[in-house]
Amino acid sequence: MGWWKPGDLIGDPMAGSGTGLTAYRIRGYDVCGIELESTYYARLLLNTAWQNKNLGLSQVLLPGMVKPGSWDYHHGDASVVLRELEADSWDACMFSPPYESAVTSNSDGPMMPFKQLRAKFKTEKEWRKFATDRRAMKKAGYGGLVADDAQVGNLKGYNHWKAMLDIYRGIAHVVRPGGFLVTVTKDRRQKWQMFPIFQYTIALAVMAGFDIVHLHDGKWPNRIRAMGAMRSQVSRMVNAKYIKAGRPDLYLDHEDVLVFAKPTGH
């Protein structure tokens, strides 16, 4: 849509292992990522090292390819780190915010700093094996190395949305006037009720100071229904259950892309 150009800075305050940041980098955007989990932060660094090696080779083999963007990563709580970053320094923020109670495992203590986690491994080989082992990550679980009050996905109801409002206000601090906020959300079903996560997200973003970007003339003009993973076999089976029970209102086969902009007079 022409909103960004190579060299613009796109941030992700909950970067995980860097899938989104990878997509931006190979298109020439500079990236800034924040990740709380020590295990995922380790993978973020290792994945980037692997990218740099392969992207460097692609520059030789594919002359004229867009030069990959630079990267800057931070380990910590996004609500804190965002406030410490330079104001108005991101051209856009693009991320998938956590849903309430998304983390089901209980933590076993305070957050383990990245350096402390790294020091547990004596050799580079042991470290890389741990940081790239999917089974180890699954066993640890997202939220297994941090305190409950630092994990937004562990919070419920009011406490969750209050914590997310702090995140969105931090994003408003770091996104430049005229810059964008783009989120990917998915509505949630629980106990035969539908929770419109996209509506909550719109409310929080507006409360944080963002404006709705009118992409069309629909009831929710900044909402794009994105089909994809929700059309998996499992998703179809679950949806069929609700249809059979006479509850088509609980049919869910999409995610939502929501687009906002920071006012130039913010």
Regarding pTM above 0.85, the answer is no
Determine, yes or no, domain membership for 257: yes
Q: What is the dihedral of CA 123, 125, 128, 132, to 10 degrees?
A: -140
Determine, yes or no, domain membership for 266: no
Section 144-156 average pLDDT: 66
Which one is predicted more confidently, 181 or 131?
181
Residue 169 pLDDT: 97
Look at residues 93, 80, 126, 99 and name the one whose alpha carbon lies nearest to residue 195: 99
Q: Number of folded domains in the chain?
A: 1
Residue 33 pLDDT: 97
Q: Hey, which residues does 90 pair with through a beta bridge?
A: 175
Residue 105 pLDDT: 40
Residue 94 pLDDT: 96
Look at residues 77, 57, 69 and name the one whose alpha carbon lies nearest to residue 14: 77
DSSP code for 231: G
Using 50, 70 and 90 to split pLDDT, how confident is the model at 10? Answer: very high
59, two tokens: 């520059």
* Domain range enclosing 78: 9-261
Using 50, 70 and 90 to split pLDDT, how confident is the model at 136? Answer: low
Q: Answer yes or no: are the C-beta atoms of 28 and 109 closer than 8 Å.
A: no
Look at residues 112, 124, 125 and name the one whose alpha carbon lies nearest to residue 39: 112
Determine, yes or no, domain membership for 68: yes
Q: Answer yes or no: are the C-beta atoms of 266 and 216 closer than 8 Å.
A: no
CATH no. for residue 83?
Answer: 3.40.50.150
Task: Determine the Cα–Cα distance for residues 206 and 215; give it in Å rounded to an integer.
Answer: 16
96-110, 115-129, 162-176, 218-232: which is most confident = 162-176
Determine, yes or no, domain membership for 4: no
Determine, yes or no, domain membership for 231: yes
Relative to beta strand 211-212, strand 255-261 is: antiparallel
DSSP code for 156: -
